[in-house]
Homo-oligomer: A and B are copies of this chain.
Amino acid sequence: MADTRYVCSVDIGGTKIASAIMEYPADGSRPYPVYSAEIPTNPSEGGEVVYSRIEGAIREALASDPDRKVIGVGVAAAGVVDPKTGSIAYANEIMPGWSGIELGPRLREALGMPVAVVGDVQAHGLGEAHWGVGRDRYSVLCLGIGTGIGGAYVEDGRVMRGFHGAAGHMGHIESTSAQGIPCACGRSGHLESVSSGTSIGRMFEERYGRVDESRPTVGRDVNDLCRQGDERAISVIHEAGFALGASLGSLANILDPEVIVLSGGVIHQGPDWRSETWKTSVAEGYASQALDPLLETPILIGELEGDAPLIGAAEHLLASL
């Protein structure tokens, strides 16, 4: 039997920085946090301030119980992480000054312990593949559906990172349903523009006006209406689900994963996203595009939710040792 092990995990998003000490029990069962904390990212203060905040959060986590011997730090970071260095190779305007931050090298130097940095969506996929609904599966395609849509492909426990660290932008593939619709990335016609929570709200509003006149319509509003049997909401959710399913079919034709896992806010925060309307739409879209040998590939709902990136970051650190 192995010893109990401890890994420090950090998940850096545009809204918050979550940190944890993950305990890997000696019996080999699923790791869980023995310490956890959350602080706001306040990204507008710039990359350097955010960096200091991260280093501080890690130091606090490490100091939370000096008797625990922590092996190293696994970091799940927003933006594109250079797989060779662990630096932030690219970030969008949501985190100004984040691009170029030498996150891995600086943390390694400052903390004097092993540090491994991976993209946050890639970490999410690693978490579900190692300890979530994808455990014991050879390969897992994981899609995170929230404000935007991201993804990760994990094979044999290892996440595909790409040459620049940019692999897994599954929301940014051509979707017939999104033709001509502008995407947050600056292109158009992408899956994200029709199946993300943001897009579902926007589609409803464009067609039927605001649900609440005082604010923009979001995915959850449409979900609530759908639950009440509102035909307009049902039609929008059907369209978003079908487009998602069709893209999952395209992705299966490219990657042929053993299982497909859906996660993220849209999946977890509204139980009705698991409703028959949505499930049927996704299945119909999938069947419309997936090739015959791939028609039986299971489409599952992730089970780790917000813990997935922290667990995945810890797994990434362990694999890097």
Which residues of chain B are within 8 angstroms of A256 by Cβ–Cβ distance? 161-168
Q: Are A163 and B257 in contact (CB under 8 A)?
A: yes
Among residues 153 to 167 in chain A, which have CB atoms less than 8 Å away from a CB atom of chain B? 153, 155, 160-167
Which residues of chain B are within 8 angstroms of A291 by Cβ–Cβ distance? 166, 169, 172, 185, 187
The answer to whether A250 and B173 touch (CB under 8 A), given A155-B160, A160-B255, A187-B288, is: yes
Contact residue among B89, B189, B251 (Cβ-Cβ distance under 8 Å from A176): B189
Q: Is A321 an interface residue (CB 8 A)?
A: no
Q: Are B176 and A293 in contact (CB under 8 A)?
A: no
> From A169, which residue of chain B is reached at the shortest CB distance?
B253
Q: Is A131 an interface residue (CB 8 A)?
A: no
Question: Once the chains are docked, how many angstroms separate the CA of A166 from the CA of B173?
Answer: 20
Which residues of chain B are within 8 angstroms of A250 by Cβ–Cβ distance? 172-174
Q: Is A41 an interface residue (CB 8 A)?
A: no
Q: Is A294 an interface residue (CB 8 A)?
A: yes
Question: Once the chains are docked, how many angstroms separate the CA of A118 from the CA of B186?
Answer: 39
Q: Are B253 and A166 in contact (CB under 8 A)?
A: yes
Q: Are A167 and B247 in contact (CB under 8 A)?
A: no
> From A161, which residue of chain B is reached at the shortest CB distance?
B256
Task: Count chain B CB atoms within 10 A of each CB in A167, A190, A249, A254 and give the residue with the most.
Answer: A254
Q: Is A175 an interface residue (CB 8 A)?
A: yes
Question: Once the chains are docked, how many angstroms separate the CA of A172 from the CA of B254?
Answer: 8
The answer to whether A168 and B246 touch (CB under 8 A), given A163-B139, A174-B175, A187-B288, is: no
Contact residue among B175, B189, B294 (Cβ-Cβ distance under 8 Å from A164): B294
Q: Is A8 an interface residue (CB 8 A)?
A: no
Closest Cβ of chain B to A250, distance in Å, is 4
Question: Once the chains are docked, how many angstroms separate the CA of A129 from the CA of B93?
Answer: 36
The answer to whether A174 and B255 touch (CB under 8 A), given A138-B163, A160-B155, A179-B179, is: no
Q: Is A32 an interface residue (CB 8 A)?
A: no
Return the CB mask of A232-245 against B: 1 if under 8 Å, else 0: 00000000000000
Among residues 130 to 184 in chain A, which have CB atoms less than 8 Å away from a CB atom of chain B? 138-139, 151, 153, 155, 160-170, 172-176, 179
Q: Is A307 an interface residue (CB 8 A)?
A: no
Question: Once the chains are docked, how many angstroms separate the CA of A251 from the CA of B176?
Answer: 15
> From A288, which residue of chain B is reached at the shortest CB distance?
B187
Q: Is A272 an interface residue (CB 8 A)?
A: no
Q: Is A212 an interface residue (CB 8 A)?
A: no
Which residues of chain B are within 8 angstroms of A164 by Cβ–Cβ distance? 256, 293-294
Q: Are B292 and A90 in contact (CB under 8 A)?
A: yes
| Residues of A that sit less than 8 Å from B by CB | 80, 89-90, 138-139, 151, 153, 155, 160-170, 172-176, 179, 185-190, 246-247, 249-251, 253-258, 288-289, 291-294, 297
26 CB < 8 A contacts A-B: A138-B163, A151-B254, A153-B254, A155-B160, A160-B255, A162-B255, A163-B256, A164-B293, A164-B294, A165-B293, A166-B291, A167-B254, A167-B256, A169-B253, A170-B254, A172-B253, A172-B291, A173-B254, A174-B246, A174-B247, A185-B291, A187-B249, A187-B289, A187-B291, A190-B289, A254-B255
